[in-house]
A and B are shown apart, each in its own frame.
Chain A
Amino acid sequence: MEFADLLYKIFLKDGGWLTILNGLWVTVQISALSLLLGTVLGSLLCFFRLGKIKPLKIVAQVYISIIRGSPVLMLLMLLFYGVFARQGLSPILVAVITFSMHTAAHVAELLRSALMALDKGQVEAARTLGFSKWQAFKLVTFPQLVRIAKPVYQSTVVNLIQWTSVVGYVTITDLTRVINNIASRTMQPMITIIGGMIIYLALSYLVYGIFHWTDRRRTQ
């Protein structure tokens, strides 16, 4: 069989590309929602972690070390087949919860390291100049925090997209699952998987592109 025919048969024939797009959409949905929730939750965690309330600080510390030290697939299986097994939650919801929890731990750590990289003297100077606590954060800390945390955050986003490839284990048909199904149906695993990789790669480059674009807008 000619290579072009093979490609056509694997990726396009009988609306196969639509199925791939559907899978891609599921991946994007889970990633985007988890990123949003994870970032909010992560900021909160970071706030607790660096705050002055002792019990919250310990809770945040324990949470971060447990989540960061365990594979996300285990957490996903545990939540879907254990904790939420009888609640009848939709698998996508459970996946979003899992990946939000996971992303939150990572975001909390990356925010903490960015905060630690900042010069404390600047905030103190702002405070002596009469800025309120909130003003000092908004005008002095935050802009620098964004600049420092951005590159790491970007790689967290890309990582998150790739972590979501395990949701096939909880009955979700995402991009990886679609690719696997196609590989089994067409009996051409190598080519199909390379195709899947290229789609994930494109998604990652899209994320890089978006970050690059916001960088340029800020400098202009």
Chain B
Amino acid sequence: MKLKKIAKVLLSCLVAGALFTGCGGGDKPADKPADTGDKPAASTGNVKLGMISHLNVTEQKMDEILKMVEEESNVPLTNFTVTYYDNLKLMQMGIESGSVDQISLYTSVADYVIANNDKYEKVSDLTLKNLSDTFCFAVRKDDAALKADLDKALDAMKADGSLDKLAKEYITDVDKGTAPPAIEIPMTDGAQTIKVGVTGDLPPLDYVSADGKAAGFNTALLAEVAKRSGKNIEIVDIDSGARAAALSSGQIDVIFWVVVPTVSKVPADIDKPEGVELSNPYFKDNIEHLKLKK
């Protein structure tokens, strides 16, 4: 009886395993003709591209934005048929299962992916380097004092070069294979506490270390902001799909925000939902596309 049960469990694990690896394995042969067909197609037509969806922006709106960016920057974005994913993990599963041919990431994240998973390589398409996104904080509109404080801290950090130093320390200089260590955020008694939502979805900027602590460049940045603004910062780990609800309901006060490529025709806050205010940018990164190695 017991043996039968164990056998059952093992069998179900095996089936699950076979199903998943089956997907991956089955794709590769299917991928090959698709990919070789893609190379010439890349200049003329459709490459299926995975993108992380922007909070609060419908896909139609996003298409509009991409078109505007294309007009301004001469990067042929309309060659791509875009599929939106909620987070990096789902996007990765999308490319591994063959739903998309390329995925769009930031250079720092792309480096991290390649260092940790040798199945990936960069798409050598230099025009994409013209595009860069900037990172900032988003707060509720009625929280103007908080925005002012964050801006002040960020400006001060920019002025004395500590922002660049942090970026160098936690992004550029990080040994690509290993993740930067978690940082303790100083807590002072009696000070105002603000809650910052992190998703753990975007290493090396934002991830959760093996011992379960939020870590990465964003955490280091927050620690510095806490020191300069005299506030306590509490990091809250939250699913990326619930960030908007959490921010607007007041359960958290700050989320991280990415501003679409800024060119003259496209205002920085084009995808900004109502009721949200953006801080000054603290980091800038280029777009990079990844594909699976053949």
Q: Does B bind A?
A: yes
A residues engaging B (CB < 8 A)? 1, 13-16, 18-19, 22-23, 77, 80-82, 85-86, 168-171, 173, 177-178, 180-190, 193-194, 197-198, 201-202, 205
Query: Taking A173-B212, A194-B16 as contacts, is the C-beta distance between A185 and B242 under 8 angstroms?
Result: no
B120-145 interface (Cβ within 8 A of A)? none
Q: Indicate whether A173 sits within 8 Å of B237 (C-beta atoms), given known contacts A185-B179, A194-B16, A194-B17.
A: yes
Q: B134-161 vs A: 1/0 string, CB under 8 Å?
A: 0000000000000000000000000000
Q: Is B270 an interface residue (CB 8 A)?
A: no
User: Do A14 and B200 touch across chains, with their CB atoms under 8 A apart?
Assistant: no
- By beta carbon, the residue of chain B nearest A205 is B9
CB-defined interface of B224-253 with A at 8 Å, one 1/0 digit per residue? 000000000000111101100110111110
> What CA separation (Å) do A187 and B150 show in the bound complex?
31
* A-facing residues in B187-244 (Cβ within 8 Å): 197, 200-203, 207-212, 236-239, 241-242
Count of residues in B whose CB is under 8 Å from the partner chain: 46
In the assembled complex, B274 has its CB within 8 A of some CB on chain A: no
30 pairs, A vs B, C-beta closer than 8 Å: A13-B210, A15-B210, A18-B211, A18-B212, A19-B212, A23-B212, A77-B245, A81-B246, A81-B248, A81-B249, A85-B250, A86-B250, A170-B242, A171-B236, A171-B238, A171-B242, A178-B208, A181-B207, A181-B208, A181-B237, A184-B208, A185-B200, A185-B203, A185-B209, A188-B116, A188-B117, A189-B96, A190-B96, A197-B16, A201-B13
Q: Are B239 and A168 in contact, CB atoms less than 8 angstroms apart?
A: yes
Interface centre among B5, B118, B210 (most CB of A within 10 A): B210
**Which chain B residue has the least Cβ–Cβ distance from A17?**
B210
